[in-house]
Amino acid sequence: MMKRHLAAAAIALGSLATIAGTAEAQAATIASPFHAGQWGVEAYAHVFGDGGVMRFFTPRTALVLDVAADQISTDANDATSTLQHTNSTMLNLSLGLRHHTMVAPKIASTFAGGVSVSTTRQRSEYEAPSGTSVSSYRANYAGGWVEFGGQYMVADRFAVGLAYDLIGRHISNTGTDQHGFEFATQFRPIRATLYF
């Protein structure tokens, strides 16, 4: 009885391996719309600037440099009649490799990974009847990221897609003297890419 179960399991595993190999072979037969030496620019649908540039080294793999920047200013009053003005800025640079796997003639899944550095600064001014005070904060980040995504080729040189990032990075804070390591996730919808 045990031998029958082992034989059935072996046949099932062999069938799964054959199916996976066939799917991979079929995906490999779909011609990549990209070529070595090709460039591209991309932007994400965020309220702040987030985009980058890429260059293909093979028809499926590209070096990607992304830049994200943001600046926010806010004013608030609290119950003690204190006016708080806060100015925050953020800059992030990411460098990595992205691999494109064609799963259908116009659809590609993407997998990427690389390193990133970023900095965030915040300066707050508190205006109260007793006087004005200022506090500042700065955080520096350095680490790595992995991206899972996909895209649809709307035209020969234009694609729309999305990406989901897993991020691991070290944090160094000035103003609070805090140091540590954190993991984060980020969903980035509507990535528009133009190839030329």
CATH number, position 89: 2.40.160
- For residue 148, the model assigns a pLDDT of 96
CA–CA distance, 59 with 80 (Å, rounded to integer): 62
Q: Six-digit token pair at 176? A: 């609070």
Could you tell me if 109 and 187 lie in one domain? yes
- Cβ 138 vs Cβ 121: under 8 Å: yes
Same-domain pairing of 158 and 67: yes
pLDDT tens track for 71-90: 888 777 766 656 777 888 98
* Claim to verify: residue 39 and residue 111 sit in the same structural domain: yes
Domain span holding position 2: 1-30
Backbone angles phi, psi at 188, to 5 degrees: -120, 95
42 & 118 share domain: yes
pLDDT digits (tens, 9 = 90+) for 101-128: 999 999 999 999 999 999 998 888 877 7
Strand locations in 78-106 (E) = 83-104
* pLDDT for residue 158: 96
More confident residue, 113 or 190: 113
Most confident of 14-18, 58-62, 184-188: 58-62
Residue 46 is predicted with a pLDDT of: 67
The pLDDT value recorded for residue 18 is 46
Same domain for 4 and 66? no
| Per-residue confidence (pLDDT) for residue 37, from 0 to 100 | 96
Residues 89 and 26 in one domain: no
Query: By three-state DSSP, how is residue 171 classified?
Result: strand
One domain for residues 39 and 121: yes
163 and 90, same domain (yes or no): yes
User: How far apart (Å, rounded) are the C-alpha atoms in residues 45 and 134?
Assistant: 34
Looking at the chain, the whole-number percentage of residues with pLDDT higher than 70 is 79
pTM: 0.74
- On whether both 49 and 8 belong to a single domain, the answer is no
How many separate domains does the chain show?
A: 2
24 and 79 housed in the same domain: no
**Whether 103 and 26 share a structural domain:** no
**Are residues 88 and 52 part of one domain?**
yes
